Chain A
Amino acid sequence: MGLGLVPLGLAFGVFVTQSGLAWWWASAFAALIYAGSFEFLLVGLVAAVAPLGTVALTALLVNVRHVFYTLSFPLHRVSGRFAKSYSTFALTDEAYALTTSEQARSWPGRRILWLQLFMHLYWAGGATAGGLLGSFIPDGVTGLDFALTALFTVLALDALRERRGDLPTPVLALLSALVARLAFPHQMLLAAFALFTAALLVRHFTARKRSRRA
């Protein structure tokens, strides 16, 4: 699974050099920020020399979903202050998806940490290779950024398979995304997360009320 990050990193590295930045910025973004989908957005922002405030706000909006990950990520299994710090730093979408899956329920902290480290290396290595290769790719070749879409497709399908009996949750998520896209096109991600969380809370409390009455 983590190996999927290599082609994605390659795509990111090529994207960085095609945007006019030096190849090693791909490595720097990948290793130091380590937030894939935001890094794709950041390339566009810095290419346009956006104010640092805009950069900070975009990072906040795109990555605020990680706050939810902290609620169920098994950090308590990771021991040691440095290891815990690194584990939070490397708490990506992919790390969260893998460590909260059914099969990961018995994984010890050491395994979680190695998984995170390897995914970090795959991502940074892929980005560096992509940055170096990018200048050799003709300008006519586009569309590598689809790797990110493909990654989320795979993660969504795997998550759906794990909660096969729970159709309302993905339907609510899809509806939240559609409403956010139409009503708040410029803040779609934040609006979609807020709507989805609110919808889940409403569902939870109405179900609880119903079971209490029964």
Chain B
Amino acid sequence: MPDTPYLIAAVAVSTAVTWALRALPFVALAPLRASSTVRYLSTRMPVGVMVLLLAYCLRDVPVTDISGLAPLTALAVTVGLHLWRRNALLSILGGTTVHVVLASTFLGH
């Protein structure tokens, strides 16, 4: 079991690294903002980054195994709900509920 000083240090390290990544580039990369290449990247990054993060979340889904059915069904429910109602909260709650029900019952690991 991790002790408290270790956990405090882990939080401090994580905060420092994360905040530095979010704050320092505003100073260091300021001259780059005017470049056409940077503008090209910054208009296309958002959609690409979200697709990458989604793929990362699904990286360990076993597509050939029965236990992969829970996340894949939940993903289909999330997408379906979002295309239908466009309500982020509903889509997240719906998809997560389906996943918890399936993973906790017959499709558990």
In the complex, what residue of chain A is closest to B109 when comparing beta carbons?
Answer: A142
In the complex, what residue of chain A is closest to B42 when comparing beta carbons?
Answer: A72
Find chain B residues with CB under 8 A from A197 CB: 41
Partner of A156, one of B22, B47, B95: B47
Flag if A93 contacts B18 (CB, 8 Å): no
Partner of B54, one of A88, A149, A166: A149
Flag if A204 contacts B57 (CB, 8 Å): no
The total of chain A residues at the interface (CB under 8 A) is: 88
With contacts A1-B88, A47-B2 taken as known, whether A150 is within 8 angstroms of B22 at the C-beta atoms is: no
The total of chain B residues at the interface (CB under 8 A) is: 65
Flag if A38 contacts B48 (CB, 8 Å): no
Flag if B50 contacts A159 (CB, 8 Å): yes
With contacts A29-B11, A70-B26 taken as known, whether A177 is within 8 angstroms of B55 at the C-beta atoms is: yes
In the complex, what residue of chain A is closest to B77 when comparing beta carbons?
Answer: A150
Partner of A153, one of B17, B45, B91: B91
Find chain B residues with CB under 8 A from A93 CB: 49-50, 53
Flag if B22 contacts A66 (CB, 8 Å): yes
Find chain A residues with CB under 8 A from B37 CB: 201, 204
What 9 A-B pairs are tightest by C-beta distance, nearest first? A143-B103, A177-B55, A72-B42, A146-B99, A173-B48, A159-B47, A156-B50, A88-B23, A173-B51
10 additional contacts (CB under 8 A) given A8-B92, A154-B91, A169-B47: A7-B93, A93-B50, A142-B109, A143-B70, A149-B74, A153-B78, A154-B82, A157-B83, A163-B47, A185-B59
